[in-house]
Amino acid sequence: MSFKLVNIWNPKGGQGKSMIAVNLAAAAVEIKLKPLVICQDPQGTATLYHQGGKLPFDVVSKVPDEKPDANLVIIDHQASDWEVPKGKIILMPVKPARSQYKTYADAKKRAEAQGKQVITVVTDTSHQRADEIATAKRLIEKGAFEIPSSGVFSRADSDLVSIFDPSMDRAYKVKERRREFLQILGAIFTGMLEEEGGMKDVA
């Protein structure tokens, strides 16, 4: 089976990397793909969710030697990892607060200098803060996706489920949030090349 690979990367902590890894994989299950999440940090969030036992996909903490039994591989990088990931597509979440932005901008420059295709996802935008709204707007104009600040993520977090879990069906605005993940998934698949060979070649 050939597979597609998405690295979720931003050296700044708390930007939404793990939140996106878990929910993007869950979105993939919705459209009948077989995702695998690689959680770089053995004590990381995605691993913790996996241990909760309610995710409809696997999470491993090591890059498999062989071709994975999956057609979408999502690598959830840990904070402070400044090494530009291998693989062609890098998804970078960023919270629009000014204090968070610089790391994203520096890391994105590094990735683009290496010819990577960077997909930006603005996360957790507060609709009360004018500066955050302005930063989010500027990024969206340049092609970024947005996952606005939403209570569904803390609710899902307390149950260690994705927002696609049936228990979340009646959560406030969950349909909007699910749609955003499906759109991001669609975009990363458009024109995206498949990686051949073993994981060691790309991760």
Ligand X SMILES: Nc1ncnc2c1ncn2[C@@H]1O[C@H](COP(=O)(O)OP(=O)(O)OP(=O)(O)O)[C@@H](O)[C@H]1O
- Give the residue carrying structure tokens 């700044």: 12
> Residue 2 or 167: which CB sits closer to ligand X?
167
Select from 18-26, 99-107, 120-128, 148-156 the region that touches Mg ion (CB under 5 A). 18-26
CB atoms under 10 Å from CB of 183, counted, come to: 12
Q: Closest distance between ligand X and the C-beta of residue 97, in Å? A: 12
Q: How far is CA 5 from CA 41, 86, 167, 179, in A?
A: 18, 10, 29, 21
**Residue 190 touches which of Mg ion, ligand X, none (Cβ within 5-8 Å per kind):** none
Residues 37-66, interacting with Mg ion (CB under 5 A): 45
Q: Count of residues binding ligand X (CB under 6 A)?
A: 19
Residues 13-52, interacting with ligand X (CB under 6 A): 13-19, 45
Is position 178 an interface residue for Mg ion (rule: CB under 5 A)? Answer: no
Task: Give yes or no for a contact between 146 and 12, defined as CB atoms under 8 angstroms apart.
Answer: no
Determine the Cα–Cα distance for residues 4 and 175; give it in Å rounded to an integer.
26
Is position 140 an interface residue for ligand X (rule: CB under 6 A)? Answer: no
CB atoms under 10 Å from CB of 171, counted, come to: 18
Residue type, 133: I
Q: Could you list the residues that contact ligand X (CB under 6 A)?
A: 13-19, 45, 78-79, 123-124, 147-150, 153-154, 157
